[in-house]
C-alpha cells in the first residue's frame, strides 16, 4: 500500500500552557532541537489565543501551527466562536476536528462533519479524529469507528481530499488516565479498516493517499513502533508534545523512517 512519504507529527497542546511566555519557551526550545530535522511535517496546535504569536516565534519552514477547534462558518453573528478563515489568516495550516475531548463536550458526528468541510474549504488541512471508547473481544469497536468515520465524512467532497488527514485515537489510550497506549498491531489493523472505508466513501485515491496517524499516549519510547511496525503516516501527540525534549525525540523517530 502506498504511503505518504513525509511523516506528519502533530502536537496537541490542549489547554496548556496558561501564559504566552510559557508557550514561547516551549516552542523556542523545540525550534532549536528540531533545526536539523528534515522530511517531517511538524505541526504545533497551541491554545487558539497563542496561534499567531507561536507562529511568529516558529517562522520555520518545517514547523507550522494548527488549531484545536473552529466553528462551521467563516463569519457571522456567532458570539465567542472562532472562524476557520480567521485561523487561516492568523497563520494556521491545520485544524483538529472531532477530538474525543470535544465530542465529550457535546459535539456529535453531524457537527463534526460540518466543521471538517468548513475547515477544508477555508484552506486548512483538517485532522479528523476517530476512535472507540473501549475494546471488546467480539470486535464491535470496528463498527463504532466505522460509523463515526462515515458519519463525520458524510458531505466531505472528493475535491478536498488533499486537505484531509485521519487520526485514529482510541479513547481508552488518551490522556493521563489512559490504561496504556495501543499496540502497533492495533493501529495497523485499524488503519487498514479505515482505508477500506475511505475507498468506499471517497474513492481509491483517498484510500491510498489520505494520511492515517496514530494518537493516544504517544511518547519517545513507543513512537518508533507505531511508525515502523504499525505503518503510521504520523502521530498526534498530547502530553509529550509539551515537553520539547520528548517531542523532538518523537519527531526524530519520524525522521528516521521518512
Ligand atoms: P495524549 O493525548 O498523547 O496525552 O494521550 C493525545 C490526544 O489527545 O490527542
- Give the closest residue (by CA) to ligand 1 atom 9: 238
Whole-number Å distance between alpha carbons of 251 and 231: 15
For residue 258, report the distance from its CA to the centre of ligand 1, in Å. Answer: 22
Q: Quick one: pLDDT at residue 1?
A: 46
Whole-number Å distance between alpha carbons of 125 and 161: 9
- E strands, the chain, in order: 7-12, 40-45, 63-67, 92-97, 125-130, 164-168, 212-215, 234-237
Give φ, ψ of 162 to 5 degrees: -65, -20
Mutate to test the pocket of ligand 1, among 239, 243, 250 (most ligand atoms within 8 A of CB): 239
Q: Are 84 and 124 in contact (CB under 8 A)?
A: yes
Whole-number mean pLDDT of the chain? Answer: 95
From the candidates 101, 132, 148, 169, give the one annotated as an active-site residue.
169
Predicted structure pTM score: 0.96
Mutate to test the pocket of ligand 1, among 43, 169, 232, 235 (most ligand atoms within 8 A of CB): 169
Q: Quick one: pLDDT at residue 5?
A: 79
Nearest to 47 by CA among 223, 234, 248, 242: 242
Q: Quick one: pLDDT at residue 34?
A: 95
Q: Is 248 in the pocket of ligand 1 (CB under 6 A)?
A: no
Whole-number Å distance between alpha carbons of 191 and 95: 21
Whole-number Å distance between alpha carbons of 42 and 66: 10
Nearest to 235 by CA among 169, 171, 175: 169
Whole-number Å distance between alpha carbons of 35 and 20: 22
From the candidates 94, 99, 148, 220, give the one annotated as an active-site residue.
99
94 labelled catalytic: no
User: What value does the mean pLDDT take over residues 123-139?
Assistant: 94
For residue 84, report the distance from its CA to the centre of ligand 1, in Å. Answer: 23
Q: Is 68 in the pocket of ligand 1 (CB under 6 A)?
A: no
Give φ, ψ of 98 to 5 degrees: 75, 25
The pLDDT tens digits of the residues spanning 237-249 come to 999 999 999 999 9
CA 36 to the chain's CA centroid: 23
Indicate the SS3 state at residue 28: helix
132 labelled catalytic: no
Split at pLDDT 50, 70, 90, the class of 59 is: confident
Q: Is 11 in the pocket of ligand 1 (CB under 6 A)?
A: no
Closest ligand 1 atom, residue 241 Cα: 3
Which residue is it, cell 493521563?
176
Amino acid at each position: 500500500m502506498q504511503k505518504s512519504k513525509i511523516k506528519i507529527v502533530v502536537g496537541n497542546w490542549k489547554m496548556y500552557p496558561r501564559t504566552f511566555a510559557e508557550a514561547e519557551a516551549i516552542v523556542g526550545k523545540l525550534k532549536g532541537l528540531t533545526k536539523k530535522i528534515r522530511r517531517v511535517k511538524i505541526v504545533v496546535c497551541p491554545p487558539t489565543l497563542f496561534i499567531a504569536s507561536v507562529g511568529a516565534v516558529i517562522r520555520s519552514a518545517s514547523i507550522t501551527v494548527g488549531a484545536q477547534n473552529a466553528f462551521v462558518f467563516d463569519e457571522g453573528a456567532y458570539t465567542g466562536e472562532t472562524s476557520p478563515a480567521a485561523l487561516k489568516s492568523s497563520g494556521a495550516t491545520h485544524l483538529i476536528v472531532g477530538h474525543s475531548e470535544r465530542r465529550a463536550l457535546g459535539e456529535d458526528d453531524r457537527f463534526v462533519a460540518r466543521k471538517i468541510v468548513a475547515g477544508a474549504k477555508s484552506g486548512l488541512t483538517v485532522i479528523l479524529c476517530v476512535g472507540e471508547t473501549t475494546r471488546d473481544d467480539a470486535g464491535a469497536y470496528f463498527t463504532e469507528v466505522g460509523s463515526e468515520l462515515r458519519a463525520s465524512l458524510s458531505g466531505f467532497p472528493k475535491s478536498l481530499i488533499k486537505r484531509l488527514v485521519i487520526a485514529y485515537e482510541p479513547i481508552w489510550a488518551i490522556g493521563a488516565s489512559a490504561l496504556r497506549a495501543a499496540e502497533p498491531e492495533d493501529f495497523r489493523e485499524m488503519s487498514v479498516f479505515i482505508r477500506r472505508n475511505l475507498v468506499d466513501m471517497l474513492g481509491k485515491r483517498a484510500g491510498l493517499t489520505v494520511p492515517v496517524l496514530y494518537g493516544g499516549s504517544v511518547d519517545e519510547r513507543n513512537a518508533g513502533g507505531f511508525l515502523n511496525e504499525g505503518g503510521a503516516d504520523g502521530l498526534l501527540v498530547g502530553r509529550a508534545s509539551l515537553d520539547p525534549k520528548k517531542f523532538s525525540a518523537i519527531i526524530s523517530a519520524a525522521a528516521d523512517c521518512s
